[in-house]
Amino acid sequence: MDSIKIITVCGAGVGTSTLLRMNIAKAFDSFKLPLDVTVENKGLSMAKGLHCDAVFTFPSFYDDLKNVYDEVYVINNLMDMGELKAKVRELLIKKGYLKGE
């Protein structure tokens, strides 16, 4: 089984990144792919330099992460499952797990 590692990032790595982690995991689950998905939440300073396939974060942290990671997805509303599924879908297409339409 293929695996993918995701990091969700906020300032301290406690509040919003934890909620984002839970909702990103739900978004991945909704695609029902044979994929082992690991989602971890981190603070900005802890996230830099960790190995992962993609980072999901908020607009205020994008500039700090865009030069560290190839795949950084900006989330505007962590409670909007439509937005989260669209960003996860984009990643899954880019990684070859889904076909684009």
pLDDT-derived band at 99, boundaries 50, 70, 90: confident
Which pLDDT score, from 0 to 100, does residue 20 have? 93
Is 89's pLDDT higher than 70?
yes
Q: What is the reported pLDDT for 13?
A: 62
Q: Which pLDDT score, from 0 to 100, does residue 78 have?
A: 87
Q: How confident is the model at residue 91 (pLDDT cuts 50, 70, 90)?
A: very high
Q: At what angle do helices 81-94 and 16-30 cross, to 10 degrees?
A: 60
Segment 21-72, tens digit of pLDDT: 999 999 999 999 999 999 999 998 888 888 999 999 999 999 999 989 999 9
Contact, 72 vs 66, CB < 8 A? yes
The answer to whether residue 14 scores a pLDDT higher than 70 is no
